[in-house]
Structure 1
């Protein structure tokens, strides 16, 4: 173990440099704390790592047809829009699942993490989600409420300059937005027919980041940590960023049981190292943070973390989702090109049981979509004639269940010798009933607009990858498997006591109050909204608390 006691003890060690790690680094460093950010992946260069259509397609062909190193990564649509090098090598980074319970874990190990491929949708959650258990009796409420996060939502929305409308919806609280961008003509047509049929529903412009076009001055999108939060953090002069640092476990003081740092392995040289800090903040992404916590327990590390509640690794969730492409033959393509982004799209905010059990499932879902937002496609690739092409993706809340869990597989290690996660997660009858309702509502909405559902392979000629696309569309016709939507949360949930949770309402581990878990791992329930904004708000709130306690001399 090199440098057992380096000269510098940081105020905070932040594990992860993505959306949450960037916010933690920004909030802590701007308050004067000395911060070390550890990133498992490599440093990146915009000259090399920004997308290039021809080069990226060649890489995809090699990774899928020859090396077989990104089979799960390629299942997500985002893989086909970005540089595939921003997705992990699955042979170096394995994980396991039961044979009959697939989980598609999508990852990005580089400075910036998955923020580089994030879609940029920013939706606030409400007390309908935070206090859902009080309404329907399933599991437990969050120990925080909407009012606790509202100031941090606003702070982040102003910092990121996100766009949106203030629609006055109880189930989707308004934010502090830049002006929204217009819906397309086809989306306005869709909005009119849907709201006429269902007066209690709204089709609204989505909320989030607009499409970024790289420049020399701003190569990275503001939705990525390099283009926003991590950039601001580094500018303070209070942040040390260390890439290629694969964190193995948290270090604990044998006498006080508090965290005193982390142990990591150099990604390239495979040498082991320790670094020390007054606080440790895990922002490595849900499953990675849980993996670090599990490997930090007394089962693996002498004097390690206790799991008094028995909930560490339990209650893993993802959003249950299904997607439908469709064709509106009666609407001409617009001469004006329209972008597709976090705010260049639409939402039907919530199909759920807000006040009564009108449906046969608990909790709720939303539908994200876009029409006329595909680039002009040459006729040689089109199988359909003149008309507008659209998509809708429904994603809904998955109930927290004890048996959906993350463990460590002691028989398999990654290339750095760390036990890999074993992920066990499956949909329940509640999710399947929700999926049936999703399909019914989507099909009805398409029919009202005068369209018909179609598969991509039936609308376009797709050279080289047509068999792959057709096979995957068939596999996911009713539902995508867990993990596919990349909204996994849970595994180290927050709660009201050490008997029912891993962390408290300030994201402190009950057994080690200077160890914080602020990413999706801390969630007691999943909500239906895209989780990243809420994760960042939780991280900002915890960071403010850390800085206040540091000033008091608590840490």
Structure 2
């Protein structure tokens, strides 16, 4: 019997396995999808394009194809939507992007690593909406630092109160392009806005080995397996957690083999859910129905969030040619949240890149122009009506109830998007540029039919789920009436059951959430392992 079971092998599952193994525990990691070799996982062109064509023509991946990341990755890293359905209310879409394989969605992660500040952790104390986190940046700072060092991210100290510096980053920030430096000078002068190099991963190099550090197999999961105390079971589709009715403790995890459909029950004194936000909510809700799980706050499934976004492409005239550039988590820049008073609650940042994806001059409408993009990351308020429930009738291929996702943007998000669009107009105008459709900037006869109907090109905000930053539904709280989880990510009435992915977030912040979820996982699992050894869990 394992000392702990971790459900999910992605970014948070890998960290959970590492923290538990480093504490001396024997760990079983259950992953719903198959284990792929690196060549099979990343694929190659033109085979990836042919597989996309087959998946789209058959209807197996019509939802995943709405996200731009789908078009640059191996489609095998996205689920078969026939086998993994979910439901939404009529006329109210939610784009749930899933990756079921060892490594999960870390294999398609963009690799931006921004810390949350106390402005986000204590936001409710400032504006009165929702609940604040029961922890602060100082509680996560040691784990942020460990992750920044382990993953060897790029970053620099910018000294901004709304964006804590990456003190554990061993690599310097990648340089800005000439056009980005130009825009940096202009918006500082005209708009009093900062523009900083992004923080995160550079593009994978051959010297990195088969797996980049941005994915679980190249980072935390790799280190966890190297301890010799971690066993990985792929194709293990978890059904629910079984709770002892007398003690209230989780005693086992029930799962189904993905191919054989054989059912298994694995006993353990500690369970850690890292299955991804909506999948973990589905497991918790099913555990309530059939596993005896007691959750007393009444908040389970409520408060689902994603980041709301708006985007544009633009051109700046007559910019010096850049040297070697890349578009990546580290190879880009940010105009972060400014903490100013606005007509809406919370804040947003603008992700930016200029001269990082220029095609040959013959394919540019204006050969001397520097082409760029701006994409808003906006915090979405936690609303009880935005929620995940179980469908009463429909089941997936393994006979498990599917998730029903009811989520929509509020007036607050709509006001935020309008502000984003006005700010993007002001930023581009400050640099002397113009916003234009992508087809007006590039000659792209083969690509244009694909992007014309894309949600990324549509005006206004894309539907919830589009940004793939789902959060909330099992929030941490200061008491069992304020949250599903306590400040150590434990269920209040079932303390040996931890939830360590995005579902634990009480509020979303505007920053990319993966690094913070990984830090939460490391902190929670280190605490749980110590408690288990003392016989206190």
TM-score of the superposed pair, with normalisation by structure 1: 0.94
Equivalent positions of 1:336-375 (< 5 A) are 336-353=323-340, 358-375=341-358
The SS at the match of 1:207 is coil
Give 1:127 deviation, angstroms. 0.8
Are the equivalent residues in 1 in contact too, given 2:144–2:516 (CA < 8 A)? yes
What is the number of equivalent residue pairs in this alignment? 535
- Render the CA deviation track for 1:330-373: whole Å, top value 9, x for unaligned: 22543x331111111100111434xxxx3110100001110000
**Match in the other structure for 1:32:** 24
The 5 Å alignment of 1:318-329 reads 318-329=306-317
Instruction: Summarize the Cα distance change of 1:274–1:474 in structure 2 as closer, same or farther, 3 Å threshold.
Output: closer
Structure 1 equivalent of residue 200 of structure 2: 208
Instruction: Confirm or deny: 8 A CA contact 1:490 1:520 kept in the other structure.
Output: yes
Q: Equivalents in 1 of 2:514, 2:448: separation in Å?
A: 32
Q: Distance in 1 between matches of 2:446 and 2:282?
A: 37
Query: Who is 1:63 aligned against?
Result: 55
Alignment partners' CA distance in 1, 2:73 and 2:516:
24
1:180 has 2:173 as partner: yes
Distance 2:298 2:435 in 1: 46
Is 1:478–2:460 an aligned residue pair?
Answer: yes
Equivalent residue runs for 1:104-503 within 5 Å: 104-176=95-167, 177=169, 178-199=171-192, 201-215=193-207, 218-297=209-288, 300-301=289-290, 304-334=292-322, 336-353=323-340, 358-377=341-360, 379=362, 381-473=363-455, 476-503=458-485
Indicate yes or no: 2:512 matched with 1:523.
no
Offset from partner CA, 1:420-477 (integer Å, 9 cap, x none):
0000111111111110100000011111112111222333344555333112258731
Corresponding position of 2:3: 11
Contact 2:178–2:321 under 8 Å retained in 1: no
Structure 2 length-normalised TM: 0.97
Cα pair 2:2 2:27 within 8 Å, conserved: yes
Looking at structure 2, the residues matched to 456 and 98 of structure 1 have their Cα atoms a distance apart, in angstroms, of: 32
SS class of match (2:270): strand
* Structure 1: distance between partners of 2:153 and 2:513: 15
Q: Is the 8 A contact 2:304 2:383 kept in 1?
A: yes
**Partner-residue secondary structure (3-state), 1:352:** coil
Unaligned regions of 5+ residues in structure 1, if any? 1-8
Contact 2:356 2:372 survives alignment (8 Å): yes
Assess, with a 3 A threshold, how the Cα gap between structure 1 residues 375 and 85 changes in structure 2: closer, same or farther: farther
Tell me how far 1:375 sits from its aligned partner. 4.8
Distance 2:321 2:451 in 1: 25
Decide whether the 8 Å contact of 1:76 with 1:484 is kept in 2. Answer: yes
| Secondary structure at 1:53 match in 2 | coil
Gaps of 5+ in 2: none
Tell me which moved more, 413-422 or 46-55.
Answer: 46-55
